[in-house]
Amino acid sequence: MADNTFKVSIITPERSFYEGEATMVEFNTACGEIGVLPKHIPLTTVIAPGICTITEADGVKKAAIHAGLAEILPDKVTLLAEIAEWPDEIDVERAKKAEERAKNRLAQKEVGLDVLRAEVALKKALVRQEIHQTR
């Protein structure tokens, strides 16, 4: 095994989503986007909705991940995602509807509106649509 790869596993509550060797992983965290190369310092961080790009020796894989936490070790990255989807698993119609709903809710500014939740919903919908276009 070459020295410049590391183990990546993405686990969701429903299944083991991805398991493999990669040269680089990029994803969104609560503090912004990060790209992880082999021998990264140990880091635990919180995942924000976004596209996760896994660069393997022979190609690039993309997936949408929403919420969860990531544990990064020098030779292994574990993403504990609450939801993870490959581009072809995404229901675009549903995502579009969700986008509209979230936008409406944010526009109306009702009393007692959970702004944070609506924003997260909007972001999830946008991420889903974006990754659907890349396939």
Partner 1 sequence: MASMRDIKRRKQSVSSTQQITKAMKLVSTVKLQKARSKAEQTTPYFNAMYNTICGMLAKAGTVNNKYLRDNGSEKIGVIVITSNRGLAGGYNSNIVKMITGSQMNPSDVKLYVIGHKGGESLAHKGYEVVKDYSPVMEAPTYADAIAISNDVLTDYASGEIGQIYLVYTHFKNTVSQIPKLMKLLPAEIDEADVEKAKSASAEALMNFEPNEEEALELIIPKYVTSLVYGALVEAVASENGARMQAMDSATNNAEEIISDLSLKYNRARQGSITQELTEIIAGAEALS
Residue 24 exposed, middle or buried by CB count within 10 Å (0-12, 13-18, 19+) = middle
Q: How far is the CB of 68 from partner 1 (least distance, A)?
A: 7
Q: How far is the CB of 44 from partner 1 (least distance, A)?
A: 5
Tokens 């990064």 correspond to 72
Establish if 46 lies at the interface with partner 1 (CB under 8 A): yes
Nearer to partner 1, 4 or 44 (CB): 44
Binding residue (CB under 8 A) for partner 1 from 24, 36, 69, 120: 69
Query: CA-to-CA distance for 88 and 132, rounded, in angstroms?
Result: 7
What does the binding site for partner 1 look like in residue numbers (CB under 8 A)?
11-16, 29-31, 41-46, 67-69, 71, 73-74, 78, 80, 82-83
